[in-house]
Amino acid sequence: MHAKASSILLIVGGGIAAYKSLELIRLLRGAGMEVRVVLTKAGAQFVTPLSLASLSGNKVYEDLFSLTDETEMGHIELSRQADAIVIAPATADLLAKAANGLANDLASTLLLASDKAALAAPAMNWRMWTHPATRRNVDVLRGYGMAFVGPNEGPMACGESGPGRMAEPEEIFAALRARLADRPKTLAGRKVVITAGPTHEPIDPVRYIANRSSGKQGYALAEVARDAGAEVVLVSGPVNLPPPAGVRLISVETARQMAEAVESTLPCDIFIAAAAVADWRTEADAAQKIKKGFDGPPALKMVENPDILASIARHGANRPRLVIGFAAETENVVAHARAKLAKKGCDLIVANDVGEGTGVMGGSENAVVLITPDGEQAWPRLAKDEVARRLVAHFAQMYAAEEERGGA
Ligand code: CTP
């Protein structure tokens, strides 16, 4: 029996980069994939339905209200029968519509009606790409499971230069293949609990102690673990990220609340401590705002917070089979992380250098070293999403090996 060829729904938006989608169709067809194209009104200003139809070997869909389209294949069916949706070029307008759930043309309706996460190849002027509105839309869409390839930096059709050029057809093709191959449900039936973000430790009703953690790495891990079939509980400190769909989110503020929330989720199979938990809190959380006085600044007496990772790793009967910690270090990364592995009693420490100038804290890239009692592995600098994908694949393998070893 032949494996069924993948069926791709390609949405072509309006941008000068639309011509590159013709080459993308050629690559997809060359790999034996079935391609159906949806062309937006703006897209039709740049490429003709005829060239798209000739290359894809299928009729091109343009109109939400076309009766022939509805009788041949309704728009719900069009997205349902596709294995993957690719948006190339993904314009600022298409992303804004998708992020806000608009459905006023065929492309946006398909995206809203689909249960599949799309792969988007953005193309726009760099000012549009870096505008806070687009940044927010991209964050929201990532939360919904949309993946992005590009944009790349370089000269643009408008004469300016910057991030906004659509990724090359080969890059989009490679990203799509990785996504299609990425499907194995390596964590099906597993319960994964993840902590993320900073904690806020109150000083008084208006002030608190915090840190620079954005929560991005923990949230990305939650999404990838969900996509790998796990039941995911995300225990998150205060962050500025949209809640990931299909994940149980428990929002907390302080380390003590986080510890309690994690306890309440046990038993679980894998525990991942990605949060930057404050090590200390003030001994007395003042009931009223501390006022400036004549006796100078207040002396804050600090006491230690519970160590969530260490307590879960030493939980006795309820210890998850796999307990993973993170180590944010500013110097002697590997040595410090190795000491932490022993101190906390976890199975693996993912160490990263957050020293000044690395841009890791709050940034979108990360270079990690994996440390286990048996050795270490240094990974190259990668996007946090990619780090998350590779980490989850690694954890799934470790879990399977542990299970095989029969550690009940
Ligand atoms: N962690 C935790 N609870 C705490 C402190 C840390 O669960 N109260 C977890 C973090 O989520 C991370 C790991 O422990 O997975 C390492 O945290 P880090 O703060 O770097 O380690 P510390 O124990 O604070 O060690 P040090 O202060 O020496 O860096």
Question: Going by CA atoms, what residue is nearest to atom 21 of ligand 1?
Answer: 327
Q: Give the tens place of pLDDT for each residue, 22-65.
A: 999 999 999 889 999 999 999 999 999 999 999 999 999 998 77
CB 14 within 8 A of CB 46: yes
Burial of 85 (0-12, 13-18, 19+ CB in 10 A): buried
Task: For residue 407, give the DSSP letter.
Answer: -
What is the structure's pLDDT at 99?
A: 96
Residue type, 175: A
Task: Please work out whether the CB of residue 119 comes within 6 Å of at least one atom of ligand 1.
Answer: no
What is the structure's pLDDT at 63?
A: 84
What is the structure's pLDDT at 309?
A: 98
Q: Which CATH class is domain 7-180?
A: alpha beta
Average pLDDT over residues 4-31: 92
Task: Please work out whether the CB of residue 235 comes within 6 Å of at least one atom of ligand 1.
Answer: no
Ligand 1 centroid–CA 279 distance in Å is 7
Contacts of 102 (CB under 8 A, 6+ apart): 96, 108, 112
What is the structure's pLDDT at 2?
A: 38
Q: Give the tens place of pLDDT for each residue, 161-208.
A: 888 999 999 999 989 988 887 667 899 999 999 999 999 999 999 999
Average pLDDT over residues 214-223: 92
Q: Give the tens place of pLDDT for each residue, 354-386.
A: 877 777 766 678 889 999 999 999 998 887 778
How far from the centroid of its chain's Cα atoms is residue 216's Cα? 7
Per the annotation, where are the binding residues for CTP? 279, 289, 306-309, 326, 340, 344
CA distance 15 to 44: 9
What is the structure's pLDDT at 361?
A: 67
Ligand 1 centroid–CA 293 distance in Å is 35
pLDDT grade, residue 1 (50/70/90)? Answer: very low
Q: Give the tens place of pLDDT for each residue, 258-310.
A: 999 999 999 999 999 999 999 999 998 788 988 888 788 888 999 999 999 99
pTM: 0.66
Ranges of CATH 3.40.50.10300 domains, the chain = 191-406
Contacts of 258 (CB under 8 A, 6+ apart): 195, 199, 235, 237, 252, 275, 277, 308
Ligand 1 centroid–CA 215 distance in Å is 15
Ranges of CATH 3.40.50.1950 domains, the chain = 7-180
Task: Please work out whether the CB of residue 326 comes within 6 Å of at least one atom of ligand 1.
Answer: yes
pLDDT grade, residue 3 (50/70/90)? Answer: very low
Among all residues, which ones are annotated catalytic? 158
CATH number of 191-406: 3.40.50.10300
Q: Strand pairing partners for 12?
A: 39
Ligand 1 centroid–CA 274 distance in Å is 9
What does the mean pLDDT of the chain come to?
A: 90
What is the structure's pLDDT at 46?
A: 96
Task: Please work out whether the CB of residue 28 comes within 6 Å of at least one atom of ligand 1.
Answer: no
What is the structure's pLDDT at 69?
A: 56
Task: Please work out whether the CB of residue 307 comes within 6 Å of at least one atom of ligand 1.
Answer: yes
Task: Please work out whether the CB of residue 348 comes within 6 Å of at least one atom of ligand 1.
Answer: no
Average pLDDT over residues 58-79: 72
Per the annotation, where are the binding residues? 279, 289, 306-309, 326, 340, 344
Measured in Å, how far apart are the chain's first and last C-alpha atoms? Answer: 39
Closest atom of ligand 1 to 255 CA is 8
